[in-house]
Amino acid sequence: MKLKIFQVDAFSSRTLEGNPAAVCPLDDWLPDEMLKAIAAENNLAETAFFVGHGGRYQLRWFTPQVEVDLCGHATLATSWVLFNELSVPEDRLRFSTRGGELSVRRSGALLAMDFPGTMPRLCTPPAALLPALGIERAEVLEARDYVVVVDSEEEVARLVPDFAALRECTKFGVSVTARGEAFDFVSRWFGPRIGVDEDIVTGAAHAWLAPYWAGRLGKTVLTAQQGSTRKGQVGCEVTGNRVLISGYAATYMAGEIHV
């Protein structure tokens, strides 16, 4: 069987930046074990598979190890493929996912995802969490992931986590974030528990990072940057209990896989 595949760099307007995701359009769903095997073969943070037409799609995301309920950068990459590689005429896409109903609109080359927002809450983290990150003291909150708030962008940049230790003390992932200099806030995201030591740009994490920083900074429209050596840029707008997460994308590779 031959399947189309695209590799897209999400949250960047050019290739070799942002966060790469694989996208596979399907006519019908393949067995889960095959989807998992393809994602493991791709060995990217996420591989997205979708089925549908006419602006309405079922969408699923897989890391090299597990299926996940919500993924931002692979949703952005999927939307980019539909709009720019498959030339769908609609300006709005609707996705049915394990994480709920999502929609994506395009405005020129900019894509805006409408995600459910979550205000992270203060929590008592596992005792091993901050030592695994190499952080002495920080405010820790929890949404889907732990959110660790540190004092400076420089502290975020110099993190060298112990991934084996993080794997044992996280339920899913952890964002480390600080107020930015050129951006409203910056972050890095680590998820060794699900097979992704560090994700370059985690769109879904901005569904709780943006509400937190909106409250801290007293503004609803924010700019963000995520990553270490390789980075991507994210626009956020908090509207009630939703967050519009926007960014650009670029196709790095288009081809065919044989399975």
Summarised one tens digit per residue, pLDDT across range 159-209 is: 999 999 999 999 999 999 999 999 999 999 999 999 999 999 999 999 999
Same domain, 89 and 136: no
Query: Hey, what are 244's tokens?
Result: 């519009």
pLDDT band at 106 (very low <50, low <70, confident <90, very high): very high
- Tokens representing residue 76 in the block: 């952005």
Q: Are residues 65 and 134 in the same domain?
A: no
Cite the beta strand spans of the chain per DSSP E: 2-10, 19-26, 47-53, 56-62, 67-68, 92-97, 100-107, 110-116, 121-122, 139-142, 146-149, 174-179, 185-191, 196-199, 221-227, 231-239, 242-247, 249-258
Half-sphere exposure of 167 toward its Cβ, with a 13 Å CA cutoff? 10
The domain containing residue 56 runs over which residues?
2-112+247-258
Candidates 46, 67, 85, 154; catalytic one = 46
- Asked whether residue 225 falls in the same domain as residue 149, the answer is yes
- Specify the CATH number for the domain of residue 54: 3.10.310.10
User: Which tokens go with 254?
Assistant: 């288009």
Write out pLDDT tens, residues 109-155: 999 999 999 999 999 999 999 999 999 999 999 999 999 999 999 99
Task: For the beta carbon of residue 136, count every other beta carbon within 10 angstroms.
Answer: 8
For residues 62 and 120, the answer to whether their CB atoms sit within 8 Å is: no
What CA–CA distance (Å, rounded) separates 146 from 12? 25
Q: Are residues 89 and 137 in the same domain?
A: no
Q: What is the pTM of this model?
A: 0.94
Comparing CA positions, the residue from 234, 224, 252 lying closest to residue 81 is 252
Interval 195-246: pLDDT, tens: 999 999 999 999 999 999 999 999 999 999 999 999 999 999 999 999 999 9
Same domain, 132 and 194: yes
Residues 94 and 127 in one domain: no
**Predicted local confidence at residue 159, as pLDDT:** 97
Domain identity same for 168 and 62: no
Residue 133 sits in the same domain as residue 100: no
Is-contact 91 108, C-beta < 8 A? no
Please check whether residues 13 and 102 belong to one and the same domain. yes
Q: What is the mean pLDDT of residues 59-86?
A: 97
Residue 236 sits in the same domain as residue 253: no
With left for phi above 0 and alpha for psi between -120 and 50, is residue 249 left, alpha or beta?
Answer: beta
Same-domain status, 13 and 98: yes
Asked whether 9 and 244 are in contact (CB, 8 A), the reply is: no
Instruction: Mark whether 97 and 126 lie in a shared domain.
Output: no
Annotation says 17 is catalytic: no
The residue whose two tokens read 């695994």 is: 132
Instruction: Report the number of distinct structural domains present in the chain.
Output: 2
